């Protein structure tokens, strides 16, 4: 039998959900998993969709079960597993069969795999939305040759999330462009989550609020301009009760955040590109710091406990909401700025407005604000988002709240690395005469690096030696 429309390898959390989604949208799919028991369990649990799914026991069976020209999705851990699966598949495939890596690959690996594939069809696509997104509609960021994207676009757009009817699946560009955009998405996600965690810290430690009340605040914010999946789930997380202890879940969860590396990749790449993304960097650093629990406990014993309560009249809940709004705009401005820089550097022509559009639904950072961002980027993709009139107006109204929150955090020992970095970025970006003249003076003093003069000309040197 060779009539499945598409194949999929890797029936873990994401692969299983994606396969069900594909079958649900009416496409016959053949699946294979390294551990055969998982394939059987998956098929047994597929319910009404089982008739659209062909389970296979070997890769050869999988290949045989797919209609030509074939398309096969890999949903296995990023790295060696992807290379191994490509190596196992290629000898069994025809020259026009397409391999699609839909995991969280480092885009440099996707660039390499696309080049190694030569004329053999290969796509690297970023899929966001976690298990639920994969099952009911993820946001999909495609990369590779356009004609290969077009071949599978009907399936990928059908299974993707829809924002007011518009599919959240777009081709981003050649080679690793899709995985690059997915990595920046994850970097923004880190910063968005960290900023929410910081305002949570201000409510819990600074204002002494209990978790139920904090949950109510997030639920309220989710109905306003901060409406977003992350604010919504933060409210639910804050309100949840541990069935074993009857305490708030947040009281029983260890305060050390994990990561799989995509945030770190974003930060490393930003350094290569000289793209300023301080809020995202701060969020990655905050996760690293969070894992140093013993050192933090020793620090508290040595220096005394922070934080201290802050007077309620200095930071109201409205001030916190405005601060989070300002922080979020600045974080997205940085993320889109980095994408713009990469677009130039790699010659990708990354479609910034479309990127904002595919993030409007399905993915973890989906939010009301992204629709406005898509509009602002469509007006002028090269302009920093913080200068787009609608966001400039909001920043004019909210940056003093951000300043107030960061200042009170600093005064009372409540660490706010991402919000503070966002504020520093804002202040730097609205300071026409900065302080790098001092850096240039120092560099010329010790290294004769030369500097440009305000009254004209490059390569000047100071009178330091005299």
Say whether 198 is catalytic: no
The answer to whether residue 38 forms part of the interface with ligand NDP (CB under 6 A) is yes
- The residue within the footprint of ligand NDP, chosen from 3, 35, 60, 400 (CB under 6 A), is 35
- The residue within the footprint of ligand NDP, chosen from 25, 27, 34, 67 (CB under 6 A), is 34
In angstroms, the CA 389 to CA 377 distance is 11
Closer to ligand NDP by CB, 112 or 443: give it. 112
Give me the least distance between CB of 351 and ligand NDP, in Å please.
21
Closer to ligand NDP by CB, 5 or 182: give it. 182
The answer to whether residue 13 forms part of the interface with ligand NDP (CB under 6 A) is yes
Give me the least distance between CB of 182 and ligand NDP, in Å please.
8
What residue number has its CB nearest to ligand NDP? 12
The answer to whether residue 14 forms part of the interface with ligand NDP (CB under 6 A) is yes
- Report yes or no: 119 and 97 within 8 Å, Cβ to Cβ: no
The answer to whether residue 261 forms part of the interface with ligand NDP (CB under 6 A) is no
The answer to whether residue 228 forms part of the interface with ligand NDP (CB under 6 A) is no
Catalytic residue among 175, 189, 281, 321: 189
- The residue within the footprint of ligand NDP, chosen from 4, 11, 326, 405 (CB under 6 A), is 11
The answer to whether residue 110 forms part of the interface with ligand NDP (CB under 6 A) is no
Q: Which of residues 169-208 bind ligand NDP (CB under 6 A)?
A: none
The answer to whether residue 103 forms part of the interface with ligand NDP (CB under 6 A) is yes
Q: Which of residues 119-148 bind ligand NDP (CB under 6 A)?
A: 127, 130-131
The answer to whether residue 353 forms part of the interface with ligand NDP (CB under 6 A) is no
The answer to whether residue 43 forms part of the interface with ligand NDP (CB under 6 A) is no
Give me the least distance between CB of 43 and ligand NDP, in Å please.
14
2-13 core/surface letters (b: 16 or more CB in 10 A; e: else): eebbbbbbbbbe
Q: Which stretch binds ligand NDP (CB under 6 A): 32-40, 113-121, 191-199, 352-360?
A: 32-40
Catalytic residue among 5, 145, 182, 357: 182
Q: Between the CA atoms of 406, 409, 410 and 415, what dihedral angle is there, to the nearest 10 degrees?
A: -100
Say whether 40 is catalytic: no
Site string for ligand NDP, 68-87 (x = CB under 6 A): -------xxxx--x--xx--
The answer to whether residue 462 forms part of the interface with ligand NDP (CB under 6 A) is no
Give me the least distance between CB of 189 and ligand NDP, in Å please.
11
Closer to ligand NDP by CB, 38 or 162: give it. 38
The catalytic residue positions are 182, 189
Residues making contact with ligand NDP (CB under 6 A) = 10-15, 33-35, 38, 75-78, 81, 84-85, 103-104, 127, 130-131, 260
């Amino acid at each position: 039998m060779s009539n499945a429309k598409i194949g999929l390898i890797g029936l873990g959390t994401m692969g299983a959900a994606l396969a069900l989604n594909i079958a649900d949208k009416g496409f016959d799919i053949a699946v294979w998993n390294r551990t055969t028991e998982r394939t059987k369990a998956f098929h047994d649990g597929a319910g009404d969709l089982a008739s659209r799914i062909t389970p296979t026991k070997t890769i050869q069976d999988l290949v045989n079960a797919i209609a030509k020209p074939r398309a096969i999705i890999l949903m296995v851990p990023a790295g060696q597993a992807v290379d191994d699966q490509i190596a196992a598949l290629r000898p069994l495939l025809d020259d026009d069969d397409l391999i699609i890596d839909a995991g969280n690959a480092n885009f440099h690996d996707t660039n390499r795999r696309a080049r190694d594939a030569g004329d053999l069809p290969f796509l690297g696509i970023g899929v966001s939305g976690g298990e639920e997104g994969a099952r009911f509609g993820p946001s999909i960021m495609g990369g590779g040759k356009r004609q290969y994207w077009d071949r599978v676009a009907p399936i990928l757009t059908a299974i993707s999330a829809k924002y007011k009817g518009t599919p959240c699946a777009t081709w981003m560009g050649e080679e690793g462009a899709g995985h690059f955009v997915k990595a920046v998405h994850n970097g923004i996600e880190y910063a968005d989550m960290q900023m929410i965690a910081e305002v949570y810290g201000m409510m819990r430690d600074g204002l002494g609020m209990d978790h139920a009340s904090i949950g109510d605040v997030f639920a309220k914010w989710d109905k306003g301009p901060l409406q977003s999946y992350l604010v919504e789930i933060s409210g639910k997380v804050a309100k949840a009760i541990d069935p074993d202890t009857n305490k708030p879940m947040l009281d029983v969860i260890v305060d050390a955040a994990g990561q799989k590396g995509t945030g770190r990749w974003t930060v490393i790449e930003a350094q290569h590109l000289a793209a300023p993304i301080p809020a995202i960097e701060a969020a990655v650093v905050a996760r690293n710091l969070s894992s140093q629990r013993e050192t933090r406990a020793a620090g508290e014993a040595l220096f005394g406990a922070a934080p201290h309560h802050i007077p309620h009249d200095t930071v109201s809940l409205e001030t916190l909401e405005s601060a989070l709004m300002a922080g979020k705009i600045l974080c997205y401005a940085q993320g889109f700025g980095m994408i713009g820089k990469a677009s130039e550097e790699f010659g990708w022509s990354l479609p910034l407005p479309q990127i904002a559009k595919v993030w409007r639904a399905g993915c973890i950072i989906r939010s009301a604000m992204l629709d406005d961002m898509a509009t602002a980027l469509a007006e002028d993709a090269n302009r920093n988002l913080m200068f787009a009139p609608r966001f400039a107006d909001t920043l004019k109204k909210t940056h003093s709240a951000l300043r107030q929150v960061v200042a009170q955090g600093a005064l009372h020992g409540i660490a706010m690395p991402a919000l503070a970095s966002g504020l520093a970025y804002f202040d730097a970006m609205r300071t026409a005469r900065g302080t790098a003249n001092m850096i240039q003076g120092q560099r010329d003093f010790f290294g004769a690096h030369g500097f440009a003069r305000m009254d004209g000309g490059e390569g000047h040197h100071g009178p330091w030696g005299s």
